[in-house]
Structure 1
Amino acid sequence: MQFEYTPKVKEMQAKLLAFFDQYIYPNEKRFYEEVNANRQAGNAWVPTKLIEELKPKAREAGLWNLFLPRSPRAPQGLSNLEYATLCEIMGRVPWSAEVFNCAAPDTGNMETLERYASEELKDQWLEPLLAGEIRSAFLMTEPAVASSDATNIECRIERDGDHYVINGTKWWSSGAGDPRCKVYIVMGKTDPNAGRHEQQSMIVVPADTPGITIKRFLPVFGYDDAPHGHMEIELKNVRVPVSNILLGEGRGFEIAQGRLGPGRIHHCMRSIGVAERALELMCKRSLERVAFGKQIARQGVTQERIAEARCEIEMARLLTLKAAYMMDTVGNKVAKAEIAMIKVVAPNVALKVIDWAIQVHGAAGVSSDFPLANWWAHQRTLRLADGPDEVHRNAIAKLELAKHMGLDPKEVKMPVTRGF
Structure 2
Amino acid sequence: MSVTALRAEAPETVDQNEDTGTALQVEADPAVVLRDPEKLAALYKRIDGKIAAHVPDLTTEKGRKATASLAFQIARTKTGIDAAAKKMTEEYRKATAEVNATRNEIVEQLEVKQKQARKPLTDWEDAEKARVERVIAELTRLRSAAIISIDETSSSIAERIATLQAEEFDREVFRDEWDEADRLKQMAIVRLEESLARILKEEADKAELDRLREEQAKRNFADSILDHINQARMGFIGGQPYPFVMIVRELEEKVRSSEVAPEYQDRVEAARIEALDFVKATHEEGQRKREAEAKAEQERREQEAATNAARDAAEKVTREAEQALAEERRKHQAELDRIERDRKAEADRIAQDHAAKETAERRVKAEADKRAADRTHRAEIMRAVKEGLMEAGEIDEATAKQIVMALVAGSIPHTTITF
Query: TM-score by structure 2 length?
Result: 0.19
Looking at secondary structure, tell me which structure has more helix per residue: 2
Which entry has the higher C-alpha Rg, 1 or 2? 2
Query: TM-score by structure 1 length?
Result: 0.19
**Taking CA–CA contacts closer than 8 Å with sequence separation of 6 or more, which of the two structures ends up with the larger relative contact order?**
1
Looking at secondary structure, tell me which structure has more strand per residue: 1
